[in-house]
Each structure stands twice: as C-alpha cells, then as structure tokens.
Amino acid sequence: MRDIALELAGALAILAALLHGVLGETRVFARAQIDPSWVRRLVRAVWHCGVVAWIAVGALLIATPIVAADGARRCIVVTAAAVFGSAAIGNALATRGRHFGWMVLAAVTGLALVGM
C-alpha cells in the first residue's frame, strides 16, 4: 500500500506540473504584459524551471518503491513533502484558498507521507 501511495503521489505531481506549465502558457503568459522583453523571458523560464523540478520529484516518487532502501525512501519523501507542502501552503495563502492548486499539491504531499 505504501508503494501505491508513492506512485500515485508521483503521477499526481507530474500531472500537476504539466497542468502548471500548460496553463501558465495559455492563461498567464498569453495575457501578461511584462516589459522589457528580457524580463518576460526570465519570468517564463523561472516558471518552467518549477515545472521541470516538479516533474523530477514526481519521477523520484514513482521510482522510490524500486529503490527499496529505507534511508533513500525517507529522504525522497521528506524532500517531496517539503517541496509540494510549501507550494501548497504558498498557493493557499496567496489565493486565499480560491485556487484548486493547493488541494492538488496537498494531496501529493499527503500521499507521499503515507508512502513513507
């Protein structure tokens, strides 16, 4: 059951990252007026660095059951919980709970902790 929780957490993390990237491009950057253009490119690059990082952590969560070393498992889960937990808290505070993203990020955090 722990392994399934980690795999679900990883899949949800990757899904959240992909949605974040696509919605960022189609909803945020399509409408944003950011000048000068180099700042726009920088903000877009930083946005997508987060997407890549979430995908990487999601992949680690999916691979964790294969690793089977308890120390590595704990380190991966604690890191994932810190990354997604802080993102969930930040999202919830910044949007005053009106954005569904914090719930998805909190679910990744909870599933990862269950998988520890």
Segment 9-68, tens digit of pLDDT: 999 999 999 999 999 999 999 999 999 999 999 999 999 999 999 999 999 999 999 987
Measured torsion, CA atoms of residues 45, 55, 11, 20, in degrees rounded to the nearest 10: -10
pTM of the model: 0.92
Structural domain for 71, as ranges: 2-114
Q: Which single residue is written with the structure tokens 């722990």?
A: 2
Give the pLDDT score at 105. Answer: 97
Measured torsion, CA atoms of residues 104, 110, 115, 116, in degrees rounded to the nearest 10: 130
Name the amino acid, one letter, at 97: G
Query: What does the pLDDT look like over 33-42, one tens digit per residue?
Result: 999 999 999 9
Which of 61, 42, 53 minimizes the C-alpha distance to 17?
A: 53
Q: If 0-12 CB within 10 Å is exposed, 13-18 middle and 19+ buried, where does residue 81 land?
A: buried
**CA end-to-end span of the chain:** 10
Domain count for the chain: 1
Beta strands in 14-105 (DSSP E): none
